[in-house]
Amino acid sequence: MNTLRTLRSLSAVLLVLAVAATTALADGVMIPRPIPGILPAPEPFTIRYHRVDVTIENQAATTEIDQVFVNNNDHDIEGTYIFPIPETASITEFAMWMNGEKVTGELLGAEEARRIYADIVRQMKDPGLLEYAGRDMYRARVYPIPAKGEIRVEMSYQELLELDAGLVTYRYPLDTERFSAEPLEDVSITVKIESAVPVKSLMSPSHEIDSVVSGLTASCGYEDADVLPDRDFYLYYTVAETDLGLNLVTHKAARDDGYFMLLLSPGLLEDPGKVIAKDIVFVFDRSGSMSGRKIKQAKAALRFALTNLNEEDRFNVITFATQGHSFADELVPATSDNILDVIPFVEGIEAGGSTDIDSALEEALDLPDSDRPKMIVFLTDGLPTTGVTDVTTILDNVEGRNGTDARIFVFGVGYDVNTTLLDRLSLDNRGTVDYVKAGEDIEQKVTSFYSKIAKPILSDIAIDFGDVRVYDTYPITLPDVFNGTQTIVFGRYEGSGETDVRLTGHVGDRREELVYGTSFPGRESGHDFIPPLWASRKIAYLTTEMRLHGEDPELKDEVVRLATEFGIVTPYTSYLIREDLPEGQMTSVDGERVRVITNVGEAIASPHYVIFGGSGEAEVKKEGNDDSWGSIKAAYGAPVSQDAVALSSRLSLDRGKAITEGAESGLVRRIGTRVFFYHTAHKGWVDSEYTEDMDVSEVEYLGEEYFSLLDRSPEIGKYLSLGERVVFLFGGKAYRVSPSQG
């Protein structure tokens, strides 16, 4: 939200833009009632806090809400509390007291609710509520709300969640941005799940959550402070009787190829016999730059990993600087005696010397050929400075030596690391890469990672989708499955129908095949978060390829196309604002000559920068922070720098994350699978699928046809909520909403 605040401060033009960008998908909201002749335009309420507790028992969900609204006005006023009811939900409790008396509310059907929404929109000249059109409403009138005072609302509702092919979906409408005058002091959602069938995985495509999955129970939480929530909270969890759960979620428009998300997870297995014994080598940099706090944290992380090995595992520890030093000449069993023996070896590690990465990896890759999963955990804080120092040669050597197909998991510590080398080591060898930035705790990062890969379940995975053709799947190479973790695969599909999905992989020395009956539908309007997530994964893959192998015009064009279609910010579509420059004028941005343009289609086709013309102060305003796409473009030419680490970290996150972020500039809005760009010539939002040669039906803002169109098609409320200037496509037609002439 920092970007939005930045835009608000730029100028009056940008203030209009930012206000137009605030859409209400909200939970409960309090609407202030004007006082004629005294307070014709009351200040909106502030939401001090918003807390949600959810309990799900075998798909029966109870949602308890606790909100506090603050009256910012100098007068006592009346408020109307409205809550758009989720489909299939029923209110079980509503508690609000005024002057010692309980306030009661009423449940209104969708038709009457739509009329009330329209009345409020006419009165307040604010279309945000139209997002609710077509849904039932719970309404309560509250008076008096004391000047500068508060009102607390507690309510709960119940709903039966749908189980579809082992997948359960929960949604809570959380967007309060339109109706809170200030950011919320705190917002939190906690979810507890009890199930008669084992829970396998728990994920949110909308918010960062901390989750715990344990057999028949699971829980998760989200919290933040000083925020204006801008998206609904979605939670998905999978259940299955089998050890390994596979669940398919799809989205498909009628005429287009579909999108899918495949969730693969074993949950948390209680039977240790289901966990595969592994061979693992820890390779730790002990060069001079690791001295002090770094080496202490690295040793603590190593102790944790060693003491949490499985009894059937085999291991070794190699430390390296100018020369390597190993605990044993070969892999040793993880017996209690061997663990006791290795701890003094770890305690005796001291930092000093230069960095011979090639020799250390050569020794680590000398692994016996067996059916066990093989892993190398490699941690370094520097560049190769002795022995073989050429990055390409080191990578070629690793490729030639890794005959046993060991996975290499890499940790780069600090900013003096060659990100190209470390990224390629992990990606070429089916591992992961993470960076411990300056000031971060090495021990915490490494121990958290090791906890996830400690217990492999299935390795060398392949998926056959049967009679349905799938393509553009990400990740391209499937990772191994570990106890308590999940793998998410995104892709496209053609056609539709029932099919058997066959999952094959190694369980120890056995090749296993698991068959799951599933269906790819010919039409599925739900789960509209899947297409932008798929696009984000593909963009991350293409950008990584260019980062590691050089920029390619075809790949760059594809990144720009995807970024345009799905409203995703990339190094090639960074959004800038330039004030007081006429159309066509050339200017300089970051040393590059760029041209001011207002045509959205032309702007997006322009690589690197998009300039939107306007009026006001003559200054380039660049959005983003140190970790944003816009500020790390320079890292493409420099593998060793703080920017390079930021870029590598961002790409690593985008290749695997389950959340797709909105555009960072406030000039792009995503509504479902549709993308809108703010168009300075129109002074409003334009559907990305709109072209100038289309016939357009003109609709006057808040006019008779405006509400008639809403009555006929309540689903367009989400487009109308963008403001008084918007061009959108619906039902094969283009509509332009223009300001009222009255």
pLDDT of residue 681: 66
d(CA 154, CA 129): 21
Q: How confident is the model at residue 326 (pLDDT cuts 50, 70, 90)?
A: very high
Give 176-194 pLDDT, tens digit per residue. 555 677 788 889 999 999 9
Q: Which of 401, 424, 454 is the last residue of a domain?
A: 454
Are residues 363 and 506 located together in one domain of the fold?
Answer: no
d(CA 30, CA 451): 45
Are residues 437 and 487 located together in one domain of the fold?
Answer: no
The full DSSP string for 166-199 is TEEEEEE----GGG-SS-EEEEEEEEEEE-SS-E
Tell me the HSE value of 593 on the side-chain side, using a 13 A CA sphere.
3
CATH at residue 479: 2.60.40.1230
pLDDT of residue 317: 97
Are residues 662 and 611 located together in one domain of the fold?
Answer: yes
DSSP H or E run through 155: strand 150-160
Are residues 426 and 462 located together in one domain of the fold?
Answer: no
The separation between CA 352 and the C-alpha centre of its own chain, rounded to angstroms, equals 41
pTM: 0.80
- Can you give the residue range of the structural domain that contains 473? 245-272+457-520
Q: How confident is the model at residue 586 (pLDDT cuts 50, 70, 90)?
A: low
Query: What is residue 239's three-state secondary structure?
Result: strand
CB 351 within 8 A of CB 288: yes
pLDDT of residue 339: 96
Backbone angles phi, psi at 548, to 5 degrees: -90, -25
Decide if pLDDT at 11 tops 60.
Answer: no
Are residues 481 and 392 located together in one domain of the fold?
Answer: no
DSSP H or E run through 371: none
Classify residue 675: in a domain, yes or no.
no
Structure-model confidence comparison of residues 500 and 614, the more confident one: 500
Decide if pLDDT at 347 tops 60.
Answer: yes
Are residues 344 and 439 located together in one domain of the fold?
Answer: yes
Give 225-271 pLDDT, tens digit per residue. 888 777 788 999 988 877 888 888 899 987 789 999 998 888 776 66
Are residues 513 and 575 located together in one domain of the fold?
Answer: no
Are residues 579 and 598 located together in one domain of the fold?
Answer: yes
Decide if pLDDT at 659 tops 80.
Answer: no
Are residues 411 and 449 located together in one domain of the fold?
Answer: yes
Decide if pLDDT at 397 tops 70.
Answer: yes
* Per-residue CA distances from 12 to 8, 503, 568, 678, 741 (Å): 8, 57, 26, 15, 22
Average pLDDT of the residues in 295-310: 92
Q: How many domains does the chain have?
A: 5
Average pLDDT of the residues in 23-37: 71
pLDDT of residue 667: 66
pLDDT of residue 179: 62
Q: Which of 470, 485, 520 is the last residue of a domain?
A: 520
Q: Which of 493, 520, 547 is the last residue of a domain?
A: 520
Decide if pLDDT at 373 tops 70.
Answer: yes
Average pLDDT of the residues in 698-711: 91
